[in-house]
Structure 1
């Protein structure tokens, strides 16, 4: 309202337009200057809060909003003040909504798990995990055997997760967890999620499980070598080496056992693998993908789906439930996966991530052998383009899960259904032509 009023004042005839002594040119110059000043004033009013103002708002939020809840949960003033001593919002973190701005779908994709499948499975990346895993498998054989006996999770699965999450501890954690979690709880697109995690991080310090100085994290606030969010640390981290401390930063037994405990909590089935690479005939629609469309593995076989190895599915698996997985649609390898695949996905909610762990575990156990199928040149769209495609599908009545710009299984199979109903060959993956067609 103020900005519009200022512009109207600049355009209204005023004494500036009198031409005595200066002529018409001088009059118009004065009008131009007044107009530009009014526009500048309007832009200043519309500009989001400066970094200094955001810092002040953050400190007020800490004291007036977060502290009362933290105190009610048993966090002492000493712990709270130590956690946020010198902490300011980190405005370089992704997925923030600054004061004065509105939330929008980011154009770029910051998570590799939702980008190009081919890039995600680059051989140098997979081999770093599998080679490192085999080395550590020999060095930690007794520990891994003891963990598998207790939890039922194969050692190679734990090693693949450890390697992928932190390079077996080599990856640096450059962020202060309270800076990251505080920033995101204050002004991210998922404020409530990060608020819960921030309060859990305070609880970790309050209970003496880790000092403030040790709370180093990733850009998303994940802790230690297993990259646990604080709530996961409180629920799943274990002291497996028996020294009286739960140390996911330095203790290899604690790190590996904590990962196993996490997977068991989410339903890891002892004795089953994660899945099989398969060939899917054209007669089987890629829109049959998903954890809610399971069938007995014998039924998938009856539909013509075969293992790429040429071997039959194990007899023990035929009566068990399996699920079709085509993470790049028809432009990449296909799989029949078990419920354990979706347990792996609980660790990081990405099909590519869970597949990487399963594939990496197989290679640690059996040697380096890549997928039979090749990844096509897909996955290069902007996240905002995929979100636009998802919204278009939603408008037509399709369930894409969420119009978040991430091509999950619901989006992939909705694409396949739309393609089939419009006389197109079903590919079940977003591409530039689809974005244009659906817009």
Structure 2
């Protein structure tokens, strides 16, 4: 009885010590912690934390989100997303599908007949059906492309904030935070056929879930990005190529710089993260500085990430390749003048995937890696890449020309694997 009484008194005192006005912290005004990756370099990343009350919005539909974004204005703003927002809707909130966007006589069957490589050849598509495709694509873009301006925070409320069908585009903007968002299915209704004189050609799609182009000081945290709703695996094959409807989950290109991506989940997709969009984009030298930490890459075919030019710190990430992921190609893409510094990452790949499959190089020269686990065992990605790809790819050195110093605690790969499995993705901000 005495112990029970003491416990009751202690509980009562604890309640009395909590101020009556106490509330949960407002994560919408969180700023990037000090030393948390490249986005903390120089002027730190604060997003819309300085917004006045008139520029704090809670939105529940596309129309409200568009108004809050204010055409990508630089006014400090905080946008809170509640529930599910579908970007493929009209001004009255009615859902739009691909047939609603088709215009000027566009018809997929006619498009396929017009540009069949066996009769059209290797020339770039032109003529009525390609013009109709472009016009139809422009109608969809008006709905699904959402421009994010400088000094903006977009944050999901609770565990059910979903933005589907949208392409968030941070172009030539500075100081942006995207957090606690489930971004699904940036679905392109009108892929374009791109012939290739040296091969079969391929289908090209227009939309990334998030696209950073010329963006600086960006923090992406506790985001989930996937194809949920329209997996590419369910699409047909035309001209002997999968009719892809999705581009990247996150592209960081066109001179973007000082980006931190943390505690996020990239899943069920072909191309996950592209950093640097071309081997000839030499203006990217000295830019594309990106930190990726405590992220999950699950059932991702490639680009986790693929890097050109950038200095990329990749630590405490978790990679899972399912047994039935027969299309898996690679995880780390080492491309022109890239400097990937990889520390304490864990790969779980039951089935057909081998250590030598994890790294692929195109014109890359270096990869620094330490503390890597493969199915629970320590491995040297660099040594195995060089041993198994000698002759087909250039040997890589460990000297990437830089050493990261902007980071929080770096755990062992085993510890990070467990923590990321529990904590990465939307709805999991502590």
* Category of TM-score, reference length = shorter chain: under 0.3
More helix by share: 1
Query: RCO greater where, 1 or 2, for CA within 8 Å and sep 6 or more?
Result: 1
Which has more radius of gyration? 1
The structure carrying a bigger strand percent of its residues is 2
Give the TM-score normalised by structure 1. Answer: 0.23
